[in-house]
Amino acid sequence: MSPNDAPTTNIQRTTGTSTNGVHYRAMRWEDLDDVTACFDRVWPQREGIAGTPLALLIARYLTLHYVEQGTWANIAELGDGTFAGITLVRVEGHPTLFPQAHDALEETRALINADPRGAQMLDMFEHGFFVREDILEEDSDVRADTQAELELFMVNPDVRGHGVGRALWEDLLGALRAMGVRAFFLHTDSSCDYGFYDHKGLVRVAERIAADHPEDADLTEGLNTDDQYIYRADLNNTALTGALNPAQDEVRGA
């Protein structure tokens, strides 16, 4: 298998062109640049960094942080190849999709670290934001009763309201069930459309409200003040595939 090929699977997923002109397929390594560019649009960096080459490097670093762990990923694209969205999950006991992601992550990290502003951002993520995520997981003990984590769920802002988020979500649930997953969890925060998960019947099993934890400011300089949440999904819950209206299809991400 070449390093650019994702492992094949027998999991059923939406294929072909739907009535809204969107095609769904497995992620390929060459999709990384498109995913990164969309990540930069959905979660832009702070003033002074947004719109700069450094911002795109940070988006690539964060994208690779999730891709490195991913074992299954579904891409949505328009008929002309325009990236429309992604779901990326890590399932326990399954091989990662892209072994080369680790080296790519380290190379990107080195480029970011060469800029003092980038070094500060890396410190904020690695010694602040990710640390708070670990605290939430420990508090909820969510890994003990789940077999998977939704690492990334993102829809291109240009195609929201056209059913892309719904199709990606339904494909995700079908794939996880076929892999024998009984429950999964995800991290999200107040910068995301977390109401989507409430609507879909997921249970919020942990939260860290920034205003209640002023000590978080001591973790690292510049740590953001978003509230952080963990949601858990039981795949026996039929509400997970409930109907969506266009507003509830506008997923920003997990």
Q: How far from the centroid of its chain's Cα atoms is residue 108's Cα?
A: 18
- Distances, alpha carbon 78 to alpha carbons 24, 38, 207, in Å: 9, 14, 36
**Which pLDDT score, from 0 to 100, does residue 95 have?**
97
Structure tokens at 109: 């990290």
Q: What is the pLDDT of residues 48-72, one digit of tens each?
A: 899 999 999 999 999 999 999 999 9
**Which pLDDT score, from 0 to 100, does residue 234 have?**
94
Helix 53-67 to helix 116-124 angle (10° resolution) is 30
**Which pLDDT score, from 0 to 100, does residue 161 have?**
81
Task: Please give the angle made by the CA atoms of 6, 12 and 13, to the nearest 5 degrees.
Answer: 75
CA distance 42 to 12: 28
Q: Residue-wise pLDDT tens for the chain (254 aa)?
A: 222 333 333 334 444 445 468 899 999 999 999 999 999 999 998 888 999 999 999 999 999 999 999 999 999 999 899 999 999 999 999 999 999 999 999 999 999 999 999 999 999 889 888 888 888 899 888 999 999 999 999 999 999 888 899 999 999 999 999 999 999 999 998 878 788 898 889 999 988 776 666 655 555 555 556 788 999 999 987 667 654 444 444 444 45
**Which pLDDT score, from 0 to 100, does residue 58 have?**
96
Q: For the chain, list the domains and their CATH numbers.
A: 22-241 (3.40.630.30)
Name residue 152's beta-bridge partners. Answer: 88
